[in-house]
Every structure is written in C-alpha cells, then in structure tokens.
C-alpha cells in the first residue's frame, strides 16, 4: 500500500518526488521551446498531467479502497507478500522519492552528458532553464505554485470523487457517452487499424512473395526449371545413343572431318 502510494506520487509528478523533477523539466523545456508545434506539444503534455494523475489514483483507489471483487475462498487465503517481493518494492520506492532531487542538477545542468548529446544553440532550452534554476528545493517549491501541480490535484480530486465518493457515477457517464467510451475502450481503434493495415497487409505481401517468389521463381524456375532443363537436354542427347556400333563410328568420322576442316581452314 505504502510503496504503491509512493510510486503513484512519483509517477504523477508530485513536487519533491523523482517524477516531478523529470516531468516538470520536460514541461518547462517544451514551454520555453520556440520550434513549430511547441505550443500544441505543451498543451498535450499539460493535459497528460491531469490524465496521468486521474488514472493513477483511479487505479490506487480501485485496488486498495474499492469494492472487493474476490470470493470468500480467495479472501481466506490472502496474506502479506514475501520478502522476495516486499524488499524490491521498498528498494524501488526509496529512489522514487529522493533520486530526483539528487540527480537533476548534474544530469540536466552539469557535464554528465557533455560531448554525448549536442543541442543546437537555437534550441538549447535547458540553458534557459539553468538560468532560473536555484536548487532542487526551490525547484520543487516553485512547482507547488504552477499549473501542473493544480492539474495533479484536479486529477486526484476527480478520481477520488468518481471512485470513492460517487462510485456509481462512472457507470452513468458511460451510458451517456457510449460512443466516446467505446472508442476509448477500443484504444481509438488502433488495434483494428493495425490488424487491417499491418497484419492483413503483411499477410497479403507474404502470399504474393510465396506465390511469385517462392513457388514461382525459386521452386518453379530455379529448382524445377533446372530439373526440366536437364530432362530436356537428356531427351535430346538420348536420341543419339542408339546402341549400334556403326552409329558411333559414323559420329566419330563426322567429328574427325569437322576437326580436319577446322585445322585446314586455319
């Protein structure tokens, strides 16, 4: 419960947690960017802050505080996870809280990636961020007053209201926006598009390659074609193999005449 909560707080970018320093740095970098499309990108990542907070706490509330979905037999066999599970969770939870504050300055504004990652001066937004960076604590303190943190709280509040206070409300909303719900459940039809374009396209391409490449070119022309060529040549040469001695003697005489003619003609 605790490690999951800490991971959730880090994931949604709560100020002070590891996820905050990475996410807020990205948000600020996109905000400072002047390349075409940066405005839309900033809008998208800002909306993503709310969505991430909402679905993360939705998961948290449903798993730990929602209505039980297990039968009595399963409930009787519930037990705490063994150390092989608990210890790694604790070891992962600790850096999710502290590693962001420890690593942000050397990673983003230090020389860790010097000579490895090159950024054009016109797009060096990290340099602009560095001019306003006054330590990890002040960065987190500034994050509390920013729009992303407000959206984090909005996502948390929405999830709490919909799945703890009014758990029947999501079902009612689903009935009102069935089409939108169906599109989102079906992941914006990406699976269907993938199957139609890539899967069926790959199958069609494979059939063409098999029919004309494998069966037609390789088997038909190269393998079977070679066999047919040998058979055709053998059928012709078989005609001169009569088994009569005078036939072979006649062939030898004709051959000698051809050789003599060639030598004389030279």
What are the tens digits of pLDDT across the range 47-69? 989 999 998 999 889 888 877 77
Instruction: Please tell me whether residues 54 and 164 are part of one structural domain.
Output: yes
Instruction: Please tell me whether residues 36 and 145 are part of one structural domain.
Output: yes
Instruction: Please tell me whether residues 13 and 88 are part of one structural domain.
Output: yes
For 136, other C-beta atoms within 10 Å of its C-beta total 17
Higher pLDDT, 157 or 175: 157
At which of 158, 185, 212 does a domain end? 185
Instruction: Please tell me whether residues 31 and 126 are part of one structural domain.
Output: yes
Instruction: Please tell me whether residues 150 and 173 are part of one structural domain.
Output: yes
Instruction: Please tell me whether residues 113 and 219 are part of one structural domain.
Output: no
Output the 3-class SS for 163-197: HHHCCCHHHHHHHHCHHHHHHHHCHHHHHHHHHHH
pTM of the predicted model over 0.75: no
Give the number of domains in the chain.
2
pLDDT by residue (tens digit) across 117-165?
777 777 777 777 777 777 788 878 888 888 888 999 999 999 999 888 8
pLDDT by residue (tens digit) across 217-229?
887 778 788 888 8
What pLDDT sits at residue 75? 75
**Is residue 90 within 8 Å of residue 3, measured between CB atoms?**
yes
Instruction: Please tell me whether residues 13 and 52 are part of one structural domain.
Output: yes
Q: Give the range of the structural domain holding residue 133, as residue numbers without chain letter.
A: 2-185
Instruction: Please tell me whether residues 217 and 233 are part of one structural domain.
Output: yes
Band of pLDDT at residue 185, cut at 50, 70 and 90? confident
Closest CA to 20 of 99, 106, 113, 94: 99
Instruction: Please tell me whether residues 123 and 217 are part of one structural domain.
Output: no
What pLDDT sits at residue 229? 83
Instruction: Please tell me whether residues 143 and 33 are part of one structural domain.
Output: yes
Instruction: Please tell me whether residues 146 and 250 are part of one structural domain.
Output: no
What's 188's DSSP letter? G
* Dihedral (CA of 159, 94, 145, 27) sign: negative
What pLDDT sits at residue 158? 92
Interatomic CA distance for residues 192 and 178, integer angstroms: 19
Interatomic CA distance for residues 159 and 27, integer angstroms: 23
At which of 185, 220, 235 does a domain end? 185
* Dihedral (CA of 80, 86, 92, 94) sign: positive
Instruction: Please tell me whether residues 178 and 201 are part of one structural domain.
Output: no
At which of 185, 215, 247 does a domain end? 185
């Amino acid at each position: 419960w605790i490690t999951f909560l800490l991971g959730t707080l880090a994931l949604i970018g709560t100020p002070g947690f590891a996820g905050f320093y990475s996410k807020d740095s990205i948000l600020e970098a996109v905000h400072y960017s002047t390349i075409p499309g940066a405005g839309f990108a900033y809008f998208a990542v800002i909306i993503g802050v709310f969505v991430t907070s909402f679905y993360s706490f939705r998961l948290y509330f449903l798993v730990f505080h929602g209505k039980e979905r297990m039968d009595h037999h399963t409930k009787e066999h519930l037990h705490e996870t063994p150390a092989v599970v608990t210890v790694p969770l604790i070891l992962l939870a600790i850096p999710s809280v502290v590693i962001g504050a420890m690593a942000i300055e050397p990673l983003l504004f230090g020389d860790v990636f010097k000579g490895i990652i090159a950024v054009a001066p016109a797009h060096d937004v990290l340099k602009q961020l560095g001019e306003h960076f006054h330590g990890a604590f002040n960065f987190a303190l500034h994050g509390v007053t920013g729009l992303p943190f407000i959206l984090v709280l909005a996502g948390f509040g929405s999830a709490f209201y919909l799945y703890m206070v009014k758990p029947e409300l999501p079902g009612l909303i689903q009935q009102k926006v069935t089409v939108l719900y169906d599109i989102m459940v079906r992941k914006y039809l990406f699976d269907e598009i993938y199957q139609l374009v890539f899967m069926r396209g790959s199958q069609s391409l494979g059939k063409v390659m098999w029919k004309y490449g494998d069966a037609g070119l390789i088997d038909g022309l190269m393998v079977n074609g070679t066999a047919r060529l040998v058979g055709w040549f053998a059928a012709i040469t078989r005609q001169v193999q009569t088994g009569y001695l005078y036939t072979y003697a006649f062939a030898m005489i004709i051959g000698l005449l051809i050789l003599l003619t060639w030598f004389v003609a030279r």
